[in-house]
């Protein structure tokens, strides 16, 4: 990656920032959906995060294996049915990015993407407060049933 990007990708050996934010990421054929547990909100197909705050993504697979990849974040991590995997990122550059599925998951794989918006905290708070849907029960159930057998975040950073 060239100049202009200075994404910090944190590894399992590092402490989680006590001020981190949790986002649950659900992959299914062929869509990405997101829940914000602290706010109780649900977003279909669009991920927003505040800039300069550590985000702990808890990844879930609802049918087959998918893979969470935001190229600029240099992190790639599988969403696996039945377990919760984790990716930790501190996005430090506002902008609009693409979340891309990198695991062949069926006929819609190539189009399995979501928009990612990194924005100032005030804008993020306004966006999340404006979400109409609360977290669907089925998604909460998925989290309860998952085994967190792979809690280690693995970044592809340093490339
Ligand atoms: Cu989901 Cu490829």
Tens of pLDDT along 112-151? 999 999 999 999 999 999 999 999 998 888 888 887 755 5
* Ligand 1 neighbours (beta carbon < 6 A): 27, 30, 66, 101, 103-105, 109, 112
Rounded mean pLDDT of 73-79?
Answer: 91
What pLDDT sits at residue 152? 53
Ligand 1 atom closest to the Cα of residue 29 is 1
Place of tokens 């800039």: 51
122 Cβ neighbours under 8 A, 6+ residues apart: none
What pLDDT sits at residue 143? 81
What is the CB neighbour count within 10 angstroms for residue 68?
A: 24
Predicted TM-score (pTM) of this structure: 0.85
pLDDT one-digit tens code per residue, 38-63: 999 999 999 999 999 999 999 999 99
Which two structure tokens, joined as six digits, stand for 8? 């910090």
Q: Is the dihedral of CA 90, 93, 99, 103 positive or negative?
A: negative
Ligand 1 atom closest to the Cα of residue 112 is 1
Q: If we measure between CA atoms, which residue out of 150, 152, 143 comes closest to residue 61?
A: 143
CA of 19 to the centre of ligand 1 (A): 31
Ligand 1 atom closest to the Cα of residue 102 is 2
Strand order of the sheet with strand 75-79?
A: 46-50, 113-119, 95-101, 66-70, 75-79
């Amino acid at each position: 990656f060239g100049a202009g990007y200075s994404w910090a990708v944190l590894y399992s050996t590092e402490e989680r920032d006590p001020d981190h934010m949790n986002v649950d990421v659900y992959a299914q054929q062929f869509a990405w959906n997101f829940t914000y547990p602290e706010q109780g909100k649900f977003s279909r197909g669009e991920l927003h995060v505040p800039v300069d705050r550590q985000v702990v993504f808890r990844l879930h697979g609802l049918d087959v294996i998918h893979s969470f990849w935001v190229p600029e974040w240099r992190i790639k991590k599988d969403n696996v049915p039945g377990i919760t995997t984790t990716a930790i990122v501190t996005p430090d550059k506002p902008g609009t990015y693409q979340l891309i599925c990198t695991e062949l998951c069926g006929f819609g794989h190539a189009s399995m993407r979501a928009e990612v918006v990194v924005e100032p905290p005030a804008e993020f708070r306004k966006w999340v407060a404006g979400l109409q849907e609360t977290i669907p029960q089925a998604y909460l159930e998925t989290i309860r049933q998952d085994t967190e057998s792979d809690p280690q975040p693995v970044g592809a950073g340093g490339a």
